[in-house]
């Protein structure tokens, strides 16, 4: 006689089998998976730093036609986006990634040297210093820094005047020499580079691209950065100076207005400059340097439309890298020079 099955026994056995099958499948699925990843820390993207134009804080307004500069970071890695001021909406230059700042090329602000050359001193006053064609003059002379400027000129027989511009700078610091110059051109071409730079006699080659940068292997605190594809650079010796230099021509319109007498044989390419000094002493001299002294007294005719600084002979140097002008303060072997050359 066959044994009678208990009521519900088969159903219970089926449930047990299904349970074990489900467990096996689940374990197999888990074992075949990658181990769970550790959660990653999400960091918000860095915020752009405060932008400046001509020394004043600004808010970048993309609805305005003013030129915008971007593509570099400040000293802490934060992105910099800044813009030309309304004073020069399309012709400003990018002055500093560290300060995220633009500047009008020839705005009358301390440290500017532009055109036929007008200087704006450390005291904020603007003046002319005409120098002399084909001669070199010390514009800054301090214990650890000496800067000479080479002047070019053009004589206009119609008004019997010779106009001058700064064509090159010769900088001496420590045992080093830095040359920044504008190369001449019969016809000005905007897409050709007219800036020439050398350090200790060796040419510095930088790609013709905005933000391209060169850093000295001999003196790592010295760098040159392009602030436009052509003809505009920033030169920095950390803790000592920053120089913005642009090679520019005299246009036919400028020549007509100012009666420069420009001909079709020479575009009179020269440098428009802005200096930022970070470690001048109280005894600094030179055409521009003396205006940074705390005891400087302006003896020019301040009632004139544009005061003229005279006394050219005392600023005259025998060569672009000579430090023999009458007001020279430079000491090649001084303590400050040892600090500058310590990285070399």
Give the whole-number percent of the chain exceeding pLDDT 90: 58
pLDDT at 13: 56
Instruction: Kindly report which listed range (42-51, 76-85, 157-166, 283-292) carries the lowest average pLDDT score.
Output: 42-51
Q: Are strands 101-103 and 51-53 parallel, antiparallel or unpaired?
A: parallel
What are the tokens at 179?
């040359």
* Average pLDDT value for residue range 154-160: 92
Mean pLDDT for the stretch of residues 21-34? 51
Using pLDDT thresholds of 50, 70 and 90, give the confidence band for residue 18: low
30 or 260, which is more confident: 260
State the Cα–Cα distance between residues 249 and 189, nearest whole angstrom.
Answer: 10
Lowest-pLDDT range of 33-37, 45-49, 135-139: 33-37
Evaluate if residue 184 carries a pLDDT over 90.
Answer: yes
Say if residue 235's pLDDT is above 70: yes
The whole-number pLDDT of residue 336 equals 44
Would you state the structure tokens that stand for residue 206, as one six-digit string? 């930088």
In the chain, what are the domain boundaries?
A: 46-104, 107-343
More confident site: 130 or 72? 130
Determine the Cα–Cα distance for residues 323 and 307; give it in Å rounded to an integer: 27
Beta pairing class for 195-199 and 176-182: antiparallel
Q: What is the pLDDT of residue 12?
A: 54
Which helix H or strand E contains 120, and what residues bound it?
A: strand 118-120
State the pLDDT at residue 262.
92
Give the Cα separation of 279 and 193 in Å (integer).
Answer: 31
What does the pLDDT read at residue 118? Answer: 92
Q: Which two tokens stand for residue 291?
A: 């205006």
* pLDDT over 80 at 104, yes or no: no
pLDDT at position 313 over 90: yes
**What's the Cα-to-Cα distance from 273 to each of 32, 157, 167, 246, rounded to whole Å?**
68, 28, 11, 7
Q: For position 134, what pLDDT does the model report?
A: 97
Q: For all residues of the chain together, what is the average pLDDT?
A: 85
Res. 102 pLDDT band, cuts 50 70 90: confident
Report the alpha-carbon distance of residue 264 to residue 192 in Å, rounded.
18
> Which tokens is 28 given?
């197999």
Query: Is 341 in a helix, a strand, or coil?
Result: helix
């Amino acid at each position: 006689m066959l044994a009678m099955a208990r009521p519900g026994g088969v159903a219970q056995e089926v449930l047990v089998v299904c349970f074990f099958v489900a467990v096996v499948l689940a374990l197999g699925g888990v074992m075949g998976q990658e181990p769970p990843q550790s959660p990653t820390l999400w960091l918000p993207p860095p915020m752009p730093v405060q932008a400046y134009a001509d020394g004043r804080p600004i808010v970048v307004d993309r609805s305005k036609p003013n030129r915008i500069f971007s593509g570099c970071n400040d000293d802490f890695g934060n992105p910099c986006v800044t813009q030309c001021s309304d004073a020069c909406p399309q012709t400003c230059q990018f002055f500093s990634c560290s300060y995220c700042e633009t500047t009008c090329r020839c705005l009358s602000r301390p440290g500017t040297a532009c055109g036929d050359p007008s200087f704006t001193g450390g005291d904020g006053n603007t003046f002319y210093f005409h120098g002399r064609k084909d001669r070199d003059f010390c514009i800054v002379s301090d214990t650890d820094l000496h800067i000479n400027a080479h002047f070019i000129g053009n004589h206009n027989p119609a008004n019997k005047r010779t106009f001058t511009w700064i064509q090159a700078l010769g900088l001496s610091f420590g045992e080093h020499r830095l040359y920044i110059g504008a190369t001449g051109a019969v016809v000005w071409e905007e897409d050709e580079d007219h800036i020439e730079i050398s350090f200790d006699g060796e040419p510095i080659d930088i790609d013709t691209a905005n933000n391209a940068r060169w850093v000295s292997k001999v003196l790592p605190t010295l760098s040159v950065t392009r602030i436009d594809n052509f003809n505009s650079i920033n030169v920095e010796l950390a803790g000592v100076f920053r120089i913005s230099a642009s090679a520019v021509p005299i246009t036919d319109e400028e020549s007509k207005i100012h009666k420069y007498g420009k001909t079709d044989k020479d575009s009179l390419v020269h440098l428009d400059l802005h200096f930022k000094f970070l470690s001048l002493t109280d005894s600094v001299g030179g055409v521009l340097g003396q205006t940074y002294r705390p005891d400087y007294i302006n003896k020019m005719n301040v009632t004139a439309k544009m005061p003229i600084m005279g006394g050219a002979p005392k600023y005259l140097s025998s060569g672009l890298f000579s430090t023999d002008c009458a007001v020279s303060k430079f000491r090649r072997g001084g303590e400050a020079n040892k600090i500058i050359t310590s990285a070399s």
